Structure 1
């Protein structure tokens, strides 16, 4: 049995997508996975333990891993039998919204250190083993913001762009070693992660920004934030379901957007080589068409309601 089980290491499992994915894979009916669910702070493991239920200690083990600490990564990987990781899911991340005038360089560095260098550290430790075995699947929870930047998400988008460029380059080498590399790109996801980002945005000190920028952030961005999440937002479980399908796919795609409602936004980027089209459309959506913006969100809600089960990769879902 041990030979058939695929060892899966997932980072950032204390909540959100990481937690949902760890539990979903641990509860796989065909028992195909042994999940090593990791988190930076083990004091936050209760929700995961609860959700895992009787799979805890069987198909799911909880381990400490901080993607910003090389030693912590090494210790965790060394504790896995033969250091064998068949599937690595790089999910740990942090968000940051607001005007850059109000953010310290230190905060920005922390976002880059977690979202980008966190992935790099994991791969430096895990990639050589995968290459040697000529087998392995690296799954990165990226974001549509790794393709298309969004207002007041400058640094977060930059960190995800870094991840995407890094993976695009690495994918060519991975192919030579028969390794799979997949970027999962959710749009807005309703999780603890997003709630915290929003709350931090709400209590941000905007005194360093000019009046117009501060008002733009408060009255346009934060005001529409909730509305966008209610219309476009996916659940963490939904993203987890997509991710499992990608992991089980015979030939997993390099990029997979989990939210079909968001795809037209990212397609704009490829539609115009000058790059002006998406910027222009986002500008108009944000600043000129308040009524149209609300109407399109309502229309999207309707579409979403009608196409709940439109996503499919291979076998139809029950």
Structure 2
């Protein structure tokens, strides 16, 4: 069987781990997965989750998206340097007032989330173009479409990713390549817990009282409730992504969380851009009871929906 080679970044935990194990456990054994991570000493969870696929349909390799030499060494180690499906997943989060964040920390987020993808494609794209065959899958975010309070830098990195891919997609068509942006909303993983814990440690001394109070008593206070209401599991996102990579004609964008879609739809409903900003402002600052009622309603929808996946995309599956 001619297996497709899948290279995935950021596989030590969360979505990356779920993606690697889901694809490697494909019943039809259509894929050979190279699951990568920056620090191989953090690979225990993946090894355990991989089970019998390890050494068969999965191999674990070192790759740091912030290091061009590391990326090249990883790709050089692959048979014929071939990557059929690249899944760019490695990322960093950041929350809080920008007055309280260092430029160096902001640069780290951009370096990982945006330039990490760019580095990968500089190494892998030329061969995909030469073969006129390949699928680039990017784990983006709804925050690449709609900015969210106190996620300024993270949203900026995802906006950059979306603009980059949207521009590249036109060129990719010329080479018969597919690009797909996977756009989850909140996902309940160790990644999100770490972001929240770092947020709790934020030194708010450089922020004014109103901003500090807004971050502590509105944003952080509601953070967990929002995730409990809207949050998906990493396995759910992996299942959506698996369906995307098995399509003959995969979509350019795919949101994995239908409960979040009405919020991003606001942006497209108003060309001036005022509607989503005004709506979010009123939800956060003027209608506390409405906000909580909305979350309770979404909880009911989630309960009724269960774990069922809705139809995906515009193409058929292989």
Shorter chain as denominator, the TM-score bin is over 0.9
Among candidates 8, 12, 15, match of residue 14 of structure 1: 12
- In 2, Cα distance between equivalents of 1:286 and 1:38: 39
Matched, 1:241 2:236: no
Among candidates 41, 47, 50, match of residue 45 of structure 2: 47
Q: Is residue 247–residue 316 contact of structure 2 (8 Å, CA) maintained in 1?
A: no
Partner of 2:124: 126
So what's the TM-score if we normalise by structure 2? 0.98
How far did residue 307 of structure 1 move?
1.5
1:225-304 superposed matches below 5 A: 225-304=223-302
Show structure 2 runs of 5+ residues with no match: none
SS in 2 for 1:302: helix
- 1:81-116 per-residue CA deviation (whole Å, 9 max, x = no partner) reads 001100000000000000000000000000000000
- In 2, Cα distance between equivalents of 1:142 and 1:211: 33
- In 1, Cα distance between equivalents of 2:208 and 2:119: 38
How far did residue 312 of structure 1 move?
2.0
SS in 2 for 1:124: helix
How far did residue 306 of structure 1 move?
1.1
How far did residue 311 of structure 1 move?
1.1
Matched, 1:180 2:178: yes
Q: Is residue 93–residue 195 contact of structure 2 (8 Å, CA) maintained in 1?
A: yes
- In 1, Cα distance between equivalents of 2:40 and 2:4: 24
Partner of 1:88: 86
- 1:218-270 per-residue CA deviation (whole Å, 9 max, x = no partner) reads 00000100000000000000000000000011110000000001111111111
Structure 1 moving runs of 4+ over 4 Å: none
So what's the TM-score if we normalise by structure 1? 0.98
Matched, 1:205 2:203: yes
Matched, 1:166 2:164: yes
Matched, 1:27 2:25: yes
Q: Is residue 132–residue 177 contact of structure 2 (8 Å, CA) maintained in 1?
A: yes
How far did residue 315 of structure 1 move?
7.1
Query: How many aligned residue pairs are there?
Result: 314
- In 2, Cα distance between equivalents of 1:244 and 1:298: 30
SS in 1 for 2:21: helix
- In 2, Cα distance between equivalents of 1:105 and 1:26: 39
